[in-house]
């Protein structure tokens, strides 16, 4: 788990960790993303000289079609950042298909998910959607403001990140 003061702050750190440390010349996201994910994608793509690819929304469904995202992913994709449910249209993304099809193109692709809107309403089954990080915010489900939480995969947790040099990469349980 990774904690921050907001889900947005957590997402900025997650995008930075992947963008700075994982190979690949492009980064993929969607036009529907909340600024919490969209803005760090713009920031780090620009800062690191990577191409930012943005999937368009479907004006009929209010979502983003799986194929519209997948056509942007290739073996040079460093990071896919896609939300679970839109705070604007309410559309729920077919995350299971997106993850499966994206990993069919690049098996070790890093995938980050903004689940701030979805987490209060739906189950996130990591066996079906084995992503690398999921952000959520307790205040969206009757918690208090002032914290943003991210669940991290094992490999995400050990990417270089801000920590004291003498501390272990992983906290001893
Ligand atoms: C989909 C989505 N992602 C991210 C956020 C940002 O969460 P936070 O306010 O904790 O930064 C929000 C906030 O409304 C949201 O709706």
> What residue's CA is closest to ligand 1, atom 12?
116
Q: Report the pLDDT value the prediction gives residue 43, as an integer from 0 to 100.
A: 98
CATH code for the domain defined by 2-157: 3.40.640.10
**Digit-coded pLDDT (tens) for 142-157:** 998 999 999 999 999 9
Q: Report the pLDDT value the prediction gives residue 167, as an integer from 0 to 100.
A: 87
**Digit-coded pLDDT (tens) for 89-143:** 999 999 999 999 999 999 999 999 999 999 999 988 999 999 999 999 999 999 9
Element (H, E) at 21: helix 7-21
Q: Report the pLDDT value the prediction gives residue 173, as an integer from 0 to 100.
A: 55
Instruction: Ligand 1 pocket test: pick from 10, 30, 34, 35 the residue with the most ligand atoms within 8 Å of its Cβ.
Output: 34
Is residue 7 in contact with ligand 1, taking CB distance under 6 Å?
A: yes
Q: Output the six-digit token pair for 153.
A: 């995969």
- Assign 3-class secondary structure to 37-86: HHHHHHHHHHHHCCEEEEECCCCCCCCCCHHHHHCCCCCCEEEEEEECEC
**Digit-coded pLDDT (tens) for 26-44:** 999 999 999 999 999 999 9
Q: What is the pTM of this model?
A: 0.96
Domain residues of the chain, as ranges?
A: 2-157
Mean pLDDT of the region 5-15: 98
């Amino acid at each position: 788990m990774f904690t921050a003061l907001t889900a947005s702050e957590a997402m900025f750190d997650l995008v930075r960790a992947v963008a700075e440390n994982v190979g690949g010349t492009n980064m993929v996201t969607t036009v529907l993303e909340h600024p919490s994910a969209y803005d760090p994608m713009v920031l780090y793509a620009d800062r690191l000289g990577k191409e930012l690819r943005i999937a368009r929304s479907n004006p009929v469904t209010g979502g983003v079609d799986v194929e519209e995202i997948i056509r942007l992913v290739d073996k040079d994709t460093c990071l896919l950042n896609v939300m679970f449910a839109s705070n604007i249209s309410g559309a729920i993304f077919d995350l299971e298909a997106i993850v499966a099809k994206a990993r069919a193109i690049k098996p070790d692709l890093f995938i980050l998910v903004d689940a701030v809107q979805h987490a209060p309403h739906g189950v996130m089954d990591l066996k079906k959607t084995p992503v690398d990080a999921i952000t959520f915010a307790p205040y969206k489900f009757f918690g208090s403001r002032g914290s943003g939480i991210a669940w991290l995969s094992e490999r995400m947790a050990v990417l270089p990140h801000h920590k004291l040099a003498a501390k272990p990469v992983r906290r001893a349980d």
